Structures are given as structure tokens and as C-alpha cells.
Amino acid sequence: MITKQQLMEARQRALEYLSRAGIVLTPEEQERIEVADFGLGDLEHTGLELITYVNTSRCCAKELVLFPRQTCPEHRHPPIGSDPGKEETFRCRWGEVYLYVPGEPTPQPHAMPPKGREPHYTVWHEIVLRPGEQYTIPPNTLHWFQAGEEGAVVSEFSTTSRDEFDIFTDPQIERITRVV
């Protein structure tokens, strides 16, 4: 849960990061920047700021903004009916992002889960994305990511996004942000 003031401040800060990446939003898009605190009320450590450009029955395009060391918690995009789940490609535009997926655990990962939430982070194969680099995550695959010291801007290209159906490893996570 976040306050209206926190929402406005996070949106403004996200715009600054998007500007650093050379990404321009229309005034209408600026008003639609979503601030996700995942129900934990700890936006600086667990959170994500995003703008969805398009989300149709076939494709989706978003910009994701992560503040320094901000983490999007471990989750997967499950099958929905006959749909196998969201497949997504992350392309780093600015900063550095550490993406974790199943595979051989990285011995000395760059990222650390937010304090007190460590048991809810189970995949440790690290993919480091710098500007111009990208990685595609198959449907229904556990993953999480964290920005580096300066933060990061990542473009996401995917099949249809149904964020409300995402399954998080941490049972306390609420995907839809409540603003008070």
C-alpha cells in the first residue's frame, strides 16, 4: 500500500530515469505510470515503476523502471486456459539489471534479495543486462530482477500481459497496488 504522495513522487522519479534513457512519454502516458509496491509498503527495496504502451490479445510492450537496487520479486507467468503463459523479452535501455532464472546458480551474484525476504528467492542463475543487451524468458518460468547501483530502465516486449494472474513465490505479495 502506498500513499498518493508516494505515487506522485515515484512517477516523477521514474520520468527522470526514462529521460536518462532517452525515452519520451506523452502527458497521458506520464499520468498512467504504474507504481507497484507489491503490497509490502517498501517501495525502495521491493517495487517497480512501469508504463504499458500496448497490451492486446497477442502482444504487449512496456517500459520498466527500477530505482537503485530496487527489486521485482520472484514470480512466474502461469498458463491461463489454452495460453501457455506470458513469454517476455527484457532489453536493457539504461543502467544495469541483474535477472535471475532457473539454471546453475551463480557463485557470487550481484544482487541480494530485500532483507527479511530471502527465503522467497529460489532461482539464482544470473543474467547481467547492460544497455543494448536482452534476454527472453519462456512462459511459466520463475524469475526476478534487481537494478544495479544507478537504477535501470528496461523495455519489455511480450505476449499478452495478465499481471493479476502472476504467481509470486512470496505469499505476502499483492500484484495490484493499493493507493490510500
In a domain, 104, yes or no: yes
Q: Which residues contact 53 (CB under 8 A, 6 or more apart)?
A: 29, 61, 62, 63
The rounded distance, in Å, linking the Cα atoms of 109 and 2 is: 30
In a domain, 179, yes or no: no
In a domain, 56, yes or no: yes
Q: Which three cell numbers stand for residue 142?
A: 520463475
In a domain, 13, yes or no: yes
The rounded distance, in Å, linking the Cα atoms of 14 and 5 is: 14
Domain of residue 114 covers: 4-168
Work out how many domains the chain is built from and give that number: 1
| CATH number of 83's domain | 2.60.120.10
Q: Are strands 143-158 and 88-101 parallel, antiparallel or unpaired?
A: antiparallel
In a domain, 174, yes or no: no
Q: How far is CA 93 from the centre of its chain?
A: 14
User: pLDDT digit of tens for each residue in the chain (180 aa)?
Assistant: 899 999 999 999 999 999 999 999 999 999 999 999 999 999 999 999 999 999 999 999 999 999 999 999 999 999 999 999 999 999 999 999 999 999 999 999 999 999 999 999 999 999 999 999 999 999 999 999 999 999 999 999 999 999 899 999 999 999 888 888
Q: Using the structure block, give the residue that is written with the C-alpha cell 544495469.
A: 96
